[in-house]
């Protein structure tokens, strides 16, 4: 790892979506948000406050209004982060905001429309285009994983048994940080392959409809891309750099009064708000700088984002806003969180030659397979020199540049050698059969030896083919710089993208310079002022006093808003606590009245709390350490025989269930079964029965009585 400990602030940008048709019809015309794109400022107006109350102003690294384009946001705010990931840094992009404000649209967008493609598809194009334009002495390995946090459980979206799979566990490594155990990782060699991985995960993601959003995300989704690059260093050895990119699409914060969710959707909203509240606490603790404890372990989401917030990563936060007046409180909360996140300091560093690099394992395996192929080639060469009459020899292995030709030569030479050996063995077998002076037993022994030699030859050929196929499969997973992974990109397109990036960088630098000049002007304005009279000085001081008084009123209003928000949060927590207490009392009542005390004590003795996963678990009946005391596997019953019944089981069957719990234990209540109906028998049997009745003129026919048939 690199020892560079330079810190870097989290980059925060804000994006506002346009008003939708429902908001325009329900509320007054116009929004509550104004944006100064030149200075990167967001001005928020309180629709319930009088006109004399000053508006709230927030300054960020970049702002994008309702008319902004997806490409502008990516080029100005995201592209530098992707370049850092390709250079070996860790990077994270996550969208934060209220439900229905455009987080998923910002991250994914419309895949088929080039103008509306979001951050994730543009990042795919960026990564593989960079690989195709890199030098030919570099090798790349790109892997992708996709997970979601649903009801505080981590689920693998790429697992075919996603619906029935158990929740994954979080683990922490001192070298690589927090990771998810047993998470599926797919090797991707092109944009098409990684898009297929993304689409497969999106089909399994939890999505639902609410009053505020028809396609509301009911879980936090994280798409992880790992890019490993191998290139020769100054010392002549190959060095590996690993960059990890986290693309996070958070579920939006919700209020039950506005979303109108009930039942399962209400449980999902409670878990979403709980994790987002934990994220807000982490942001507040990191931005404060004085807090000795950062509550990363309060949520699975904050554990996964531990390196992204205050750790080894470069982070971009996209805060999405809704301009409708009825969403003023949620918009103000989002702006405050985003304003605090600007003060978080990360310590990004290049991940150079990590121990868990998969690319190095691939290279070692390829080198081992190549050595085995070369060894087989040398053995085949020695044998062929003995067989061939003209003494033609194979050439030795050339440089690494002709590896492809050597592999083809190995295959052709192996096939040619097998044919020659088969011809030689057939000639020897014919010679043995035609020898009349040899005993029959000796002929059989020699022919058997030749057959064994033929079998060994075929086995060796199959082993060589399998080894070659495995070598090609391993080598095909690596991407080499300079090769066309995507369609050929001409020089004009390269220049166009470079110019576009230069414009984006220039826009960002101009915004930063203007923000710095604005702050400096406010600080040095008093020093530059000169007064010609006392009246002029009084007017200037009065103006300054009014300005300071307005700032004081803004701060007081801010304090009042924070107190009101604290009261609302406390009331929501109290309401949640009351609901949980009521549910706990209900379950405790069921346990006390319907579960026998001895069974309850057995369950309580087996329960243990796992602080890592924050949940209770059952201990195994037999400890794993004592192998000698483990229960033996029950033998399989013989086919056709009933399972043996013990004496205790016979008595239990005769006596029935325990009399104390027979009336009140719902698990042992017998259901009333309907008696068998003769009309549900086979129709063919019924037809035969009717035919027999028509032939027989018995008295039952006149009375309309049907006789039942036995099974």
- Residues making up the annotated binding site for ATP are 97-104
Q: How far is residue 37 from each of residues 42, 119, 121, 323, 685, measured CA to CA in Å?
A: 9, 20, 25, 16, 85
Binding site: residue ranges? 97-104
Contact present, 109 and 264 (Cβ < 8 Å): no
Token representation of residue 306: 């531990």
Contact present, 243 and 88 (Cβ < 8 Å): yes
State the sign of the Cα–Cα–Cα–Cα dihedral 572, 573, 574, 578: positive
Residue 173 backbone phi and psi in degrees, to 5:
-120, 130
DSSP letter (8 states) at residue 117: B
Contact present, 362 and 370 (Cβ < 8 Å): no
**Count, residues in the chain:** 711
Contact present, 174 and 307 (Cβ < 8 Å): no
Complete DSSP assignment for 630-653: SPPPPPPPPTTSPPP--HHHHHHH
At how many degrees (to 10) do helices 358-387 and 403-434 cross? Answer: 40
Q: Which residues contact 644 (CB under 8 A, 6 or more apart)?
A: none
Complete DSSP assignment for 331-371: HHHHHHHHHHHTT-EE-----BS-TT-HHHHHHHHHHHHHH
The span from the CA of 277 to the CA of 271, in Å, is 10
Residue 124 backbone phi and psi in degrees, to 5:
-60, -50
Nearest residue to 507 (alpha-carbon basis) of 158, 91, 27, 61: 61
Contact present, 484 and 132 (Cβ < 8 Å): yes
The span from the CA of 234 to the CA of 29, in Å, is 64
The span from the CA of 16 to the CA of 102, in Å, is 8
Return the bridge partners of 173, or none: 177
The span from the CA of 511 to the CA of 448, in Å, is 87
Strands (E), 98-169: 139-150, 153-156
State the sign of the Cα–Cα–Cα–Cα dihedral 177, 180, 182, 185: negative
């Amino acid at each position: 790892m690199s020892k560079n400990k330079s810190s870097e602030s989290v980059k925060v940008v804000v994006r506002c979506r346009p008003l939708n048709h429902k908001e325009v019809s329900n509320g007054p015309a116009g929004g509550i948000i104004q944006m100064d794109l030149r200075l990167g400022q967001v001005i928020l107006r309180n629709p319930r406050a009088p006109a004399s109350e000053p508006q709230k102003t927030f300054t960020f690294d970049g702002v994008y209004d309702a008319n902004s384009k997806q490409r502008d946001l990516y080029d100005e705010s995201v592209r530098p982060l992707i370049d850092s990931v390709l250079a070996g840094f860790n990077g994270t992009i996550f969208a934060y905001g209220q439900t229905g404000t455009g987080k998923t649209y910002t991250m994914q967008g419309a895949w088929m429309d080039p103008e509306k493609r979001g951050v994730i598809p543009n990042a795919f194009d960026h990564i593989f285009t960079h690989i195709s334009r890199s030098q030919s002495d570099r090798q790349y390995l790109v892997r992708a994983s996709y997970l979601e946090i649903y009801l505080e459980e981590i689920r693998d979206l790429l697992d075919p048994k996603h619906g029935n799979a158990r929740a994954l566990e979080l683990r922490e490594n001192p070298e690589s940080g927090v990771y998810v155990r047993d998470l599926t990782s797919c090797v991707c060699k092109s944009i098409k392959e990684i898009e297929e991985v993304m689409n497969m995960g999106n089909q399994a993601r939890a999505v639902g409809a609410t009053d505020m959003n028809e396609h509301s995300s009911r879980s936090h989704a994280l798409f992880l891309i790992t890019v490993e690059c191998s290139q020769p260093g100054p010392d002549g050895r190959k060095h590996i750099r690993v960059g990890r990119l986290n693309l996070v699409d958070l579920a939006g914060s919700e209020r039950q009064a506005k979303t109108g969710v009930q039942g399962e959707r209400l449980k999902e909203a409670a878990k979403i708000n709980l994790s987002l509240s934990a994220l807000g606490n982490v942001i507040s603790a990191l931005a404060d700088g004085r807090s000795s404890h950062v509550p990363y372990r309060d949520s699975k989401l904050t554990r996964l984002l531990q390196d992204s917030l205050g750790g080894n990563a470069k982070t971009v936060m996209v805060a999405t806003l809704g301009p409708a007046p009825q969403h003023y409180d949620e918009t103000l909360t989002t702006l405050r969180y985003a304003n605090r996140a600007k003060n978080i300091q990360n310590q990004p560093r290049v991940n150079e030659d990590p121990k868990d690099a998969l690319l190095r394992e691939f290279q070692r395996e390829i080198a081992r397979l190549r050595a085995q192929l070369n060894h087989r080639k040398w053995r085949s060469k020695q044998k062929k020199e003995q067989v061939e009459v003209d003494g033609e020899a194979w050439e030795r292995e050339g440089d690494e540049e002709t590896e492809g030709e050597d592999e083809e030569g190995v295959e052709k030479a192996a096939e040619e050698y097998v044919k020659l050996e088969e011809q030689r063995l057939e000639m020897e077998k014919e010679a043995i059969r035609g020898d009349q002076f040899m005993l029959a037993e000796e002929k059989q022994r020699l022919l058997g030896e030749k057959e064994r030699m033929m079998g060994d030859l075929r086995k060796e050929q199959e082993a060589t083919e399998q080894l070659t196929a495995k070598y090609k499969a391993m080598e095909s997973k690596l991407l080499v710089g300079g090769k066309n992974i995507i369609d050929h990109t001409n020089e004009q397109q390269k220049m166009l993208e470079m110019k576009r990036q230069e414009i984006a960088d220039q826009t960002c630098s101009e915004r930063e310079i203007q923000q710095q000049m604005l702050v400096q002007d406010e600080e040095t304005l008093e020093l530059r002022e000169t007064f010609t009279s006392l009246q002029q000085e009084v007017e200037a001081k009065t103006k300054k006093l009014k300005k300071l008084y307005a700032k004081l009123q803004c701060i007081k209003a801010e304090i009042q808003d924070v107190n009101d928000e604290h009261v609302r949060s406390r009331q929501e927590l109290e309401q949640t606590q009351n609901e949980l207490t009521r549910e706990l009392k209900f379950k405790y009542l069921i346990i006390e009245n319907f579960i026998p005390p001895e069974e309850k004590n057995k369950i309580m003795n087996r329960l243990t709390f796992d602080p890592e996963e924050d949940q209770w678990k059952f201990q195994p009946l037999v400890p794993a350490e004592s192998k000698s005391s483990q229960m033996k596997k029950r033998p399989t019953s013989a086919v056709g025989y009933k399972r043996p019944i013990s004496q205790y089981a016979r008595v239990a069957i005769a006596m029935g269930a325990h009399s104390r719990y027979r009336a009140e234990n719902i698990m042992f209540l017998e259901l009333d079964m309907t008696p068998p109906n003769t009309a549900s028998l086979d129709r063919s049997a019924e037809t035969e029965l009717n035919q027999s009745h028509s032939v027989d003129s018995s008295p039952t026919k006149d009375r309309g009585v049907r006789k039942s048939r036995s099974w």
